């Protein structure tokens, strides 16, 4: 009986010791996991610092200063008869400021971000369509896609209820306007599709999902199918399925990013697409090509996702090219398809990709 009494008295102590040991082990595992995550984050930060050189920082500072001075009283950006108060240009300028670490009301350019956000929200129609009547555009769904992407990033950083309500309506419009081919075209009512507008909507949907907005798997699967069908044998992408068009660099860069945004990170489509892009490594001769900034905006994202084997050479080349051609005003000269605010915002975004500040661009 004494032995039983002793064992009974000792049992709770033994259990406590066992629990303590298990708890310690769990804490050690959690700590190790957290340390590993910190190391991964530090690795990305270190790589960003490696590529984001002092001259790059100076170029971006000059570009952002130029953009801040070009913002209109209503918070919009854009110039000329076609791009004045354009929601796409405003969204991209806002993204350039977000990439610098600013958020609405906070940071050196927090006021500019807030005003851009207010303009985008004011441009949201009851249907969810984001469009400014003051801006003439042959493809308003471009504007809607970029504006939705911007709102998703802003919502993820602020959790503003007003932003979420408008964002949900904007996403709903994208989903409802997906046509039978699985893509999108210039307007919500379009029955056909093209790769360029489709990629814009895919990125908006991905950003929305990242911040907690529901998007069905069926919608994404149909997107993926459309993009895959748009790829040519050479790895590049055509403009529309109905055309036997040759591949071109700008939309091919967009096509690869669309696959990444849809959750496809490896496979023949990715490898062939990257191979095609690498045949168009940035150089001075290509600088005045049509849709140059559009192409570089997507290409740098593709290479950042692809990793060091592709990223090292690409970013160094585009960084040096953009710094070399920046104008004394701090802006970048636009090509024939856009305005100076667009080209400057795109250049600032491209240069800031390794800073890893915007979730949609993160690895």
Residues 350 and 71: their CA atoms lie apart, in Å, by 20
- Residues 102 and 124: their CA atoms lie apart, in Å, by 23
**Which two structure tokens, joined as six digits, stand for 184?**
């999108």
pLDDT of 308 reads 82
The predicted structure's pLDDT at residue 139? 85
pLDDT computed for residue 81 by the predictor: 82
Q: Are 219 and 205 in contact (CB under 8 A)?
A: yes
Structure tokens at 233: 């044998």
Predicted local distance difference test score (pLDDT) of residue 284? 53
The model's pTM: 0.86
Instruction: Please give the Cα distance from 308 to 14 (Å, whole number).
Output: 52
| pLDDT given for residue 341 in this prediction | 98
In 261-300 the beta strands, taken as DSSP E runs, fall at: none
In angstroms, the CA 191 to CA 243 distance is: 15
3-state helix, strand and coil shares in percent for the chain, rounded to the nearest 5: 65, 0, 30
Give the whole-angstrom CA distance, residue 27 versus residue 240: 54
pLDDT tens digits for the chain (363 residues)?
Answer: 433 333 334 434 444 444 444 444 444 444 444 334 433 344 455 567 789 999 999 999 999 999 999 999 999 999 988 889 999 999 999 999 999 999 999 999 999 999 999 999 999 999 999 999 877 677 899 999 999 999 999 999 999 999 999 999 999 999 999 999 999 999 999 888 999 999 999 999 999 999 999 999 999 999 999 999 999 999 999 999 976 789 999 999 999 999 999 999 999 999 999 999 999 999 755 545 679 999 999 999 999 999 988 999 999 999 999 999 999 999 999 988 899 999 999 999 999 999 999 999 997
In sequence order, which residues have a C-beta less than 8 Å from that of residue 242 and are 6 or more positions away? 192
- The closest of 146, 144, 164 to 154, measured between CA atoms, is 164
Residue 62 in tokens:
């000059």
Integer Cα distance of 33 and 309 in angstroms: 27
What DSSP element (H or E) covers 320?
Answer: helix 308-325
Helices 249-261, 217-229: inter-axial angle, 10-degree rounding: 150
Which two tokens mark 74? 């209503």
pLDDT value, residue 222: 96
Per-position b or e across 75-106, b if 16+ CB within 10 A of its CB: bbbbbeeebbbbbbbbbbbbbbbbbbebbbee
pLDDT at 287: 47
Report pLDDT for 285.
57
Is the distance from CB of 89 to CB of 345 less than 8 angstroms?
Answer: yes
What was the pLDDT predicted at 288?
59
Bridge partners for 231 per DSSP: 237
Tokens of 271: 């490898």
């Amino acid at each position: 009986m004494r032995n039983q009494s002793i064992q009974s008295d000792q049992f709770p102590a033994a259990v406590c010791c066992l629990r303590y040991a298990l708890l310690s082990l769990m804490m050690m595992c959690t700590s190790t996991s957290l340390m590993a995550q910190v190391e991964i984050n530090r690795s990305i930060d270190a790589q960003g610092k490696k590529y984001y050189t002092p001259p790059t920082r100076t170029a971006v500072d000059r570009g952002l200063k130029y953009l801040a001075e070009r913002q209109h009283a209503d918070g919009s950006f854009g110039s000329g008869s076609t791009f004045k108060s354009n929601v796409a240009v405003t969204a991209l300028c806002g993204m350039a400021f977000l990439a610098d670490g600013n958020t609405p009301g906070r940071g050196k350019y927090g006021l500019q971000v807030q005003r851009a956000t207010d303009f985008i929200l004011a441009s949201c129609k009851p249907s969810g369509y984001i469009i400014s009547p003051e801006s003439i555009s042959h493809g308003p769904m471009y504007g809607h896609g970029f504006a939705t992407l911007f709102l998703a990033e802003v919502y993820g950083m602020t959790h503003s209820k007003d932003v979420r309500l408008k964002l949900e309506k904007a996403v709903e419009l994208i989903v409802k306007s997906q046509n039978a081919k699985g893509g999108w075209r210039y307007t919500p009512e379009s029955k056909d599709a093209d790769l360029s507008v489709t990629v814009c909507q895919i990125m908006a949907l991905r950003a929305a999902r990242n911040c907690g907005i529901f998007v069905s798997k069926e919608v994404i699967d149909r997107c993926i199918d459309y993009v895959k069908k748009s790829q040519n044998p050479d790895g590049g992408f055509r403009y529309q399925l109905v055309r036997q068009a040759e591949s071109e660099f700008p939309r091919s860069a967009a096509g690869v990013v669309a696959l990444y945004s849809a959750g496809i990170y490896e496979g023949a489509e990715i490898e062939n697409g990257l191979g095609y892009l690498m045949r168009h490594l940035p150089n001075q001769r290509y600088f005045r090509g049509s849709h140059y900034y559009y192409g570089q905006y997507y290409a740098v994202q593709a290479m950042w996702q692809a990793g060091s084997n592709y990223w090292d050479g690409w970013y160094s080349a585009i960084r040096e090219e953009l710094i070399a051609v920046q104008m004394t005003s701090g802006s970048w000269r636009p090509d024939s398809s856009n305005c100076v605010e667009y080209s400057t915002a795109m250049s600032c975004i491209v240069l800031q990709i390794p800073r890893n500040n915007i979730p949609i661009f993160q690895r």
